[in-house]
Amino acid sequence: MLSRMVAELGPWSWWLLGLLLLGAELLLPGVFLVWIGIGALATGVISLLLWESAAWGWQIQVLVFAGLAVVATLLGRRYLSKSDLVTDEPLLNQRGASLVGRTATLQDPIAEGHGRIRLDDTYWPVLGPDISAGTKVRIVSWNGRDLIVEAA
């Protein structure tokens, strides 16, 4: 049935596949089927030009489609991966990094390099030299989990 439909539609079968893939992209999350759909549409354009050629068999069409889909995917990833966006909140989702430079009072003393401070409504684990509780400290960096502090 599928081969009969492809034979009847001719080069338009690639266009149909491309449009189905682009439509599926609307239903599925992510941006992946777009590039495969573009590969199918490009194969459809080539098929319109070469459909009567004896060398343009289904095997060649599938190879051209696969190659164009890979090229479209690679170009699309390169285009979308450009992250030169300028934002007024570069540390928006990096709360620990946004705390660097602030001062706080030690809630628990730093003993053997580990302690705890309270900033706003959150307790943060800190690393630094041994310092007694109640001492003012300055946050100098963040390692992804702990804030690194020094005496202020």
Q: What per-residue confidence (pLDDT) applies to 83?
A: 65
Which of these, 106, 100, 140, 104, lies nearest to 120 by C-alpha position? Answer: 104
Q: Tokens 């989990």 sit at which residue?
A: 145
Q: Which domains does the chain have, with CATH numbers?
A: 2-80 (no CATH), 95-151 (2.40.50.140)
Question: Half-sphere exposure of residue 107, counting CA atoms within 13 Å on the CB side?
Answer: 11
Q: What per-residue confidence (pLDDT) applies to 38?
A: 95
Provide the phi-psi class of 144: left if phi over 0, else alpha when psi is between -120 and 50, else beta: left
- pLDDT averaged per 10 residues, the chain (length 152): 71 91 88 91 93 86 95 89 72 82 92 91 92 93 91 88
